[in-house]
Amino acid sequence: MAKLHELPGKPAIRIRELVKQFGDFIAVDTLSIDIMNGEFFVIVGPSGCGKTTLLRILAGLETASGGQIEVVASQLSDRPVNRMVFQGDSIFPWMTVWDNIAYGLRMRGASAKKITEVVGHYLDRTGLTKFAKAYPHQLSGGMKQRVSIARAFANDPQILLMDEPFSALDAQNKVLLQEELLKIWEEHKKTVVFITHSVEEAVLLADRIMIMSAQPGRAKAIIPVPLPRPRDYMELQKTSAYGDLVHRIWSSLREEVQRARQQSDGGAT
Amino acid sequence: MTAIVSTTAPTRSWRLTARGYERLISIASPIVLLLVWELAARTGAVDVRFFPAPSSIFEKLVALLSSGELMRHTLTSLGRLGWGVLLGGVPALILGIMMGLNRVFRAIVEPLVAALYPIPKSSIVPLALLIFGLGEGSKIFMVAVGVFFPVIINTTTGVLEINKIYLDVGKNFEANRWSTFRTIALPGALPFIMTGVRLGIGMGLVLIAVAEMIGAKSGLGFMIWNAWEIFAVEQMYVGLFVIALIGVALTVILQELERVIIPWKTA
């Protein structure tokens, strides 16, 4: 198990000895980590390493089999504790872009004035103002994902959980959305827990990266990303610090991917 | 289907596209059939006691319209149909959504629905008469029974077909039970629900006609039955024609309604 890195600042989430089992299958095994307030925390790992399970537990969509999760931030305000940006299409096809973004605010019973104001702000922020009245089937994949992000941000959660939000997008759209996300995040400095299978994406976005091992899912390494912000994808790629980090994480991750492959060759799929 | 695009400009003005040609045939064929029928009736090729000439049926239609009798029967049937659709459809909708959302509830209700559904609905007309008597109750009940099953079955399927991710979103965004019902289950299942309603109304129309033939003093079913009793064949055909017309009209209305309430489906 990786040593806990004590960072300055208050932790937003304390995870201690977290275990999640599905029958005999151990998805997450004695995982302990502190995620700091305002931190951009990225999790990478091979398929089936329990990344999504961990995020779903944090989102309250699964219950842990053992261990503790303490969300410290929740005691401080009446803002929602967490909101999730789901993997794949998750915006409601039966609602317009506007209604999708307003969804969380409505569920929390915000005033009409507040809803109009906040939805307007995030429509503008994500460049969707012209599409406010459009239905999802009229949008491209990248636009749908922007709606999903706006929906989560509009609720002003203390913690933002993102499960491979850009994995289904083409390379160009991905870079644009990553930059948009970083801009919005730098304005609000929310705690973000972000899952990806892309090492480049992890390094571009993260304050720290957790590499998870495959079956059972454990924290193999936690790697700080000391690159200065604001980060620019094009500029970053030219620096050697970026290349070194990507290389280091890749080598660590590759062992896990190979191990996961051997395991699945051994019978389990 | 692609339209034939003429390469020479002048011929385009009079030559029909394949689709236009088909449409013309569809309009022409019933007219031709009516003409043949009219001719056959007048020349005595068919027995007018069974197949009266379309012109005489039309005369009867006008007569029944001007006496107000046809309107009275039609409105009575439509009223029963409306109440039946409401009283059968709304509970079916609510139960169907609950079945879709709650496994335990589904386990309780599903076997009951599965057991009752195969009973031919027309065979319970005597039971309806026994319970509700000869009044409006038995007719409305029959329509409600006919509407209930397609709606509950389609609604349950519709909710079960909703991608689970939307329910996860609801949970993560703190939607309570009622909000989940209203903002996710109901709109998510709506395309299926509308199919159920369409099938249900078709079934309701069948059953209202049957129910009105037995123990009724009004309605289109009664009018048709009464025509048999007094051997007024033209009146019988008028009744059949109006019921068919109602069926077509309701289908068109429901299609339009679907377009309005499911705007996200029109791609």
For A163-218, the pLDDT digits (tens) are: 999 888 888 888 888 988 898 888 888 899 999 989 999 999 999 999 998 778 88
Looking at residue B104, what is its pLDDT?
A: 96
- Residue A55 inside a domain? The answer is yes
Chain B contact for A82 (CB, 8 A cutoff): yes
- With CA atoms as reference, the chain B residue closest to A157 would be B173
- Residue A191 inside a domain? The answer is yes
pLDDT tens digit string along B47-106?
A: 988 999 999 999 999 999 999 999 999 999 999 999 999 999 999 999 999 999 999 999
Comparing CA positions, the residue from A214, A220, A216 lying closest to residue A256 is A214
Give how far the C-alpha of residue A57 lies from the chain's centroid of Cα atoms, to the nearest Å. 13
Residue A96: HSE in the Cβ half-sphere, 13 Å Cα cutoff: 12
Sheet holding A191-196, edge to edge: A82-85, A159-163, A191-196, A40-44, A208-213, A218-224
| Set of chain B residues whose Cβ sits within 8 Å of the Cβ of A88 | 165
Chain B contact for A145 (CB, 8 A cutoff): no
pLDDT tens digit string along A227-261?
A: 998 898 888 889 999 999 999 999 988 888 888 78
User: Can you say whether the dihedral through the CA atoms of B232, B237, B242, B243 is positive or negative?
Assistant: positive
Residue B246 CA to residue B81 CA, distance in Å, equals: 11
> Could you tell me if residue A9 is left (phi over 0), alpha (psi between -120 and 50 degrees) or otherwise beta?
left
Q: What is the pTM of this model?
A: 0.81
**Closest Cα of chain A to B192: distance in Å?**
14
pLDDT over 50 at A1, yes or no: no
B165–A88: do the CB atoms touch at under 8 Å? yes
Residue A28 CA to residue A50 CA, distance in Å, equals: 6
Collect all residues with Cβ–Cβ distance below 8 Å to A10 and sequence separation of at least 6: A36, A37, A72
Q: Which of B173, B175, B187 sits opposite A94 (nearest CB)?
A: B187
- Residue A239 inside a domain? The answer is yes
Residue A149 CA to residue A152 CA, distance in Å, equals: 5
Mean pLDDT calculated for residue range A86-102: 94
**Closest Cα of chain B to A80: distance in Å?**
9
Collect all residues with Cβ–Cβ distance below 8 Å to B41 and sequence separation of at least 6: B48, B51, B52, B53, B54, B56
Comparing CA positions, the residue from A91, A53, A79 lying closest to residue B188 is A91
* Residues of chain B with confidence (pLDDT) below 50: 1-3, 5-11, 267
- With CA atoms as reference, the chain A residue closest to B187 would be A94
**Closest Cα of chain A to B100: distance in Å?**
18
Q: Give the dihedral of Cα atoms B159, B161, B164, B169; nearest 10 deg.
A: -50
pLDDT over 50 at A3, yes or no: no
- Residue A213 inside a domain? The answer is yes
Looking at residue A93, what is its pLDDT?
A: 95
A86–B165: do the CB atoms touch at under 8 Å? yes
A94–B267: do the CB atoms touch at under 8 Å? no
Looking at residue B222, what is its pLDDT?
A: 94
- With CA atoms as reference, the chain A residue closest to B171 would be A61
Q: How far is CA B88 from CA A186, B159, B236, in A?
A: 55, 19, 29
Q: Which of A94, A104, A135 sits opposite B173 (nearest CB)?
A: A104
Chain B contact for A126 (CB, 8 A cutoff): no
pLDDT tens digit string along A18-66?
A: 988 888 888 888 889 999 989 999 999 888 788 899 999 999 999 999 9
A107–B179: do the CB atoms touch at under 8 Å? yes
- Residue A129 inside a domain? The answer is no
What three-state secondary structure class fits A168? Answer: coil
B173–A88: do the CB atoms touch at under 8 Å? no
Mean pLDDT calculated for residue range A88-113: 94
**Closest Cα of chain A to B264: distance in Å?**
6
- Residue A2 inside a domain? The answer is no
Residue A218 CA to residue A216 CA, distance in Å, equals: 6
Chain B interface disruption, residue of A94, A155, A161, most B CBs within 10 A: A94
Beta bridge partners of A36: A11
ipTM above 0.90, yes or no: no
Looking at residue A31, what is its pLDDT?
A: 87
**Closest Cα of chain A to B5: distance in Å?**
30
Pick the more confident residue, A266 or A150: A150
Residue A179 CA to residue A232 CA, distance in Å, equals: 7
Collect all residues with Cβ–Cβ distance below 8 Å to B76 and sequence separation of at least 6: B218, B219, B220
Chain B contact for A90 (CB, 8 A cutoff): yes
pLDDT over 70 at A75, yes or no: no
- Residue A23 inside a domain? The answer is yes
- With CA atoms as reference, the chain B residue closest to A58 would be B172
Range of the domain at A230: 11-81+157-265
Looking at residue B12, what is its pLDDT?
A: 52
Looking at residue A266, what is its pLDDT?
A: 58
Assess contact for A35 and A191: CB atoms under 8 A: yes
Chain B contact for A131 (CB, 8 A cutoff): no
**Within 10 A of A117 (CB to CB), how many other CB atoms are there?**
12
A80–B179: do the CB atoms touch at under 8 Å? no
| pLDDT confidence tier of residue A2, bands split at 50, 70 and 90 | very low
Give how far the C-alpha of residue A262 lies from the chain's centroid of Cα atoms, to the nearest Å. 28
Give how many domains chain A has, as a whole number.
1
Instruction: Report the CATH number that the domain containing residue A209 is assigned in CATH.
Output: 3.40.50.300
Q: Which of B165, B169, B174 sits opposite A108 (nearest CB)?
A: B174
Looking at residue B2, what is its pLDDT?
A: 47
A86–B183: do the CB atoms touch at under 8 Å? no
Residue type at B192 in one-letter notation: F
- Residue A194 inside a domain? The answer is yes
